[in-house]
Structure 1
Amino acid sequence: MKLEIQPIGNSYSEQAIDLILTIQQKEFNIPITIEDQPDLLQIESFYTAAGGNFWGAFADGELVGSIALVKFDERAGAIRKMFVKKEFRGKELNIAQELLEVLISFCRENRIDDLYLGTITVLKAARRFYERNHFVKIEKSNLPAKFPLMSADDVFYHLNLD
């Protein structure tokens, strides 16, 4: 299997929506719809134009993972849309780790020093993954004022890259 990680734009919206909504709704029963995340229909204006990016992980040409960065302040960004298709998860392929490393490299190159993210209590594996990668759990009240909140999120993390 050939794995490639590359920035993706609006031409991949449908594939990204299919990947992400399937995981959110079918696998984890999270009551979230495409209407709740219009950013997926406008990847370029929402992520790229603002100084962030959106990456896809492709296994033999199929989109099997994603991660996105919203730049919301001069030196700060929020991780969004971190998803890997069930059959492609785990240490053997290490797709989530590779996606995170691509995003962190982008942050270092673009002088984004602080990364924040919100996730959901039920996503236990995701939380363990962030904690293994030195993200520190913080209270919602300690998020920066400009942090782009998602209504479903109830657990928050911070990582300083300095």
Structure 2
Amino acid sequence: MELKIQPIGNSYSEQAIDLILNIQQKEFNIPITIQDQPDLTEIEHFYHERGGNFWGAFIEGELVGSIALVKFDERAGAIRKMFVKKEFRGKELNIAQALLEVLISFCHENQIDDLYLGTITVLKAAQRFYERNHFVRIEKEKLPSRFPLMSADDIFYHLSIH
């Protein structure tokens, strides 16, 4: 199985919504709807036009993972939409790691020095993943004022990447 990671735009909205909502609602019972995430129907406007990006991980043409970067300041970005389909998670394929590395390379190329993200208490594996990748847990009050908060998030991380 060959993994291919590439930037995606609005033409992939439906596949991205399918992937992400399934994980949020069915797997983790997070009470979130597509109405709460208008960025998924306007990927290019929310991510690309503002200096960020949105990547999809594909195996044999199927979208199995995603990660996005919202650029919210001159040299700062927020990680969003980091999801990998359950049956494609784990060390063999290492999709989450590959997605994060693509995003960090993009940050280096685009002079983005600080990465922030919010996640949810129930997503324990996500927290371990970010901590393994040197993200440091911070208090909500320490987030930059322009950080785009998601209402469900209650745990926050920062990574300095200069």
Report the TM-score when normalising by structure 2: 1.00
SS of 1:93's equivalent in the other structure is: coil
Give 1:103 shift: 0.0
Give 1:28 shift: 0.1
2:101 is aligned with 1:107: no
CA-to-aligned-CA distance 1:100-146 (integer Å, 9 cap, x gap): 00000000000000000000000000000000000000000000000
Name the counterpart of 1:24: 24
User: Could you say what the CA RMSD is over the residues aligned between the two structures, in angstroms?
Assistant: 0.3
- Report the AA paired with residue 38 of structure 2: P
Name the counterpart of 2:159: 159
- Report the AA paired with residue 119 of structure 2: T
- Unaligned stretches of 5+ residues in structure 1: none
Give 1:2 shift: 1.5
Give 1:62 shift: 0.1
- Report the AA paired with residue 95 of structure 1: I
Pairing 1:37-52 to 2, within 5 Å after superposition: 37-52=37-52
Name the counterpart of 1:54: 54
SS of 1:68's equivalent in the other structure is: strand
The count of residues paired between Structure 1 and Structure 2 equals: 162
SS of 1:125's equivalent in the other structure is: helix
Following the alignment from structure 1 to structure 2, what is the Cα–Cα distance between the partners of residues 35 and 91?
33
Identity of aligned residues (%): 85
Pairing 1:4-153 to 2, within 5 Å after superposition: 4-153=4-153
SS of 1:54's equivalent in the other structure is: strand
Structure 1: 4+ residue segments shifted above 2 A: none
Following the alignment from structure 1 to structure 2, what is the Cα–Cα distance between the partners of residues 113 and 55?
19
SS of 2:97's equivalent in the other structure is: helix
